[in-house]
Structure 1
Amino acid sequence: MIWSSEDIARDAVRRQGAGMPAARVAEAVAQAAVRERETAEELRSEGPVERGLVASDPEELAERWAAQHGEWRRVQALMEASGWAVYEPERDSAGSAWAAERTVRRERAITAHAAHLEQRRAAADEVQGEVWVPAGAGRLLRQAASRAGLTPQEVLAQLAERVVVGENGAVSVAPFIPSH
């Protein structure tokens, strides 16, 4: 699951800002503004990009700081408008809605990934092949398929499902009537 820069910023601000007084939120807004400006200037510079301690895509880093600055400003405005002394994420209806949405997306991604893995496990047991059948056997196969309203491939699949391998390695199939 890939989160957008806004998702990452909202999650980070929600975690970092929990219980933070208004003065510290203002400091976080100022710091994010500085980081946003610095990363934007770094992108505009013509020289090589200095990576620092952590190797990161400069465009992605600039996007993240811009998103984080916007989210800190939103939290600051919310606190001022609501008269909150400290930021309480559970009282932040927009932030809580976004967090719930991220949780739902994450759960869907986990479920889809698990289903994909299960599908791959099941597919590992499947065998696909191309069978060249002599003309005489091919005619009999097409006739049996036609009577059952199936394709020759479907009849061959039913035949394969009924294969029995004996102790001596002999392969056999008991007589059956192909059906839907």
Structure 2
Amino acid sequence: MWGVEDVARATVRRQGEGLSVVQVADKVAEAERRERECQQELSSPGVDRGFYEGDPAEIAGQWVARHAEWSRVAALMDGQGWPVYSPERDVQGSTWAQERDIQRKGALARRAAWQMEQQDARDELKAQVWLNADTSRRLRAIAACAGLSAEQVLTQLADRVRMDDNGTLAVDAFTPAVN
């Protein structure tokens, strides 16, 4: 859902809160060093990276994004004369955070709607009904008079069915109607 820049921005906002200019400069230097180390590792073929270390190109991309974001925060603090970083005062960072939050909420809403559709699909009953020719003709004639398909008439019939105490099924008289 989020790209490496989004993750870097969220990480910097979370880790940067309350850091001084010197501490942010240290974070910039660390990100720059890690970015350089990752690039060197990528350009060194044949090095055993181990099973748990992850994709070096992905890790390098993460450090490139963090370096860029820490550098942006350092420049912002320098330009605004802030002694300490405050994510709430960072207009651009706050805008990005709000956009990410809107994206997240939208994704969650889409996921919930999809899950509801899946549940509805599991709850639906799809059946084939084989009727003799005479019953089929009568059903089609009723449906044609009502301006419905035979399936729509059967659906309305099924909606009105009730079970009596003795287990028999009954349907009161009704006129099929277009909904």
Query: For the residues of structure 1 that align with 2:56 and 2:146, how far apart are their CA atoms?
Result: 64
User: Which residue does the alignment assign to 1:23?
Assistant: 22
Quote the offset at 1:150 in angstroms. 0.9
Q: List runs of 5+ in structure 2 lacking aligned partners.
A: none
Q: Secondary structure at the match of 1:90?
A: coil
Quote the offset at 1:55 in angstroms. 4.5
Quote the offset at 1:115 in angstroms. 2.9
Letter in 2 for 1:14: R
Tell me how large the CA RMSD over aligned residues is: 2.0
TM-score (norm 1): 0.87
TM-score (norm 2): 0.88
Worse-superposed segment, 137-146 or 161-170: 161-170
Worse-superposed segment, 104-113 or 28-37: 104-113
1:12-91 → structure 2 map (5 Å cutoff): 12-47=11-46, 50-51=49-50, 54-91=52-89
Q: Secondary structure at the match of 1:89?
A: coil
| Structure 1 residues 116-167: Cα deviation after superposition (integer angstroms, max 9, x where no partner) | 3333334333211222222221111111111111111111111111122233
- Report the CA distance shift for 1:175/1:49 in structure 2 as closer, same or farther (over 3 A): farther
Worse-superposed segment, 12-21 or 30-39: 30-39
- Report the CA distance shift for 1:5/1:49 in structure 2 as closer, same or farther (over 3 A): farther
Worse-superposed segment, 11-20 or 135-144: 135-144
Q: List runs of 5+ in structure 1 lacking aligned partners.
A: none
Does the aligned pair in 2 maintain the 1:42–1:49 contact within 8 Å? Answer: no
- Is residue 119 from structure 1 mapped to residue 104 from structure 2 by the alignment? no
Query: For the residues of structure 2 that align with 1:159 and 1:50, how far apart are their CA atoms?
Result: 67
- Report the CA distance shift for 1:128/1:41 in structure 2 as closer, same or farther (over 3 A): farther
Letter in 2 for 1:120: Q
Query: For the residues of structure 1 that align with 2:92 and 2:64, how far apart are their CA atoms?
Result: 19
2:157 to 138, 159, 163: 159
Quote the offset at 1:93 in angstroms. 0.7
- Report the CA distance shift for 1:25/1:51 in structure 2 as closer, same or farther (over 3 A): farther
| Structure 1 residues 25-67: Cα deviation after superposition (integer angstroms, max 9, x where no partner) | 1111111112122223333433265147x55333322221111
Query: For the residues of structure 2 that align with 1:103 and 1:70, how far apart are their CA atoms?
Result: 21
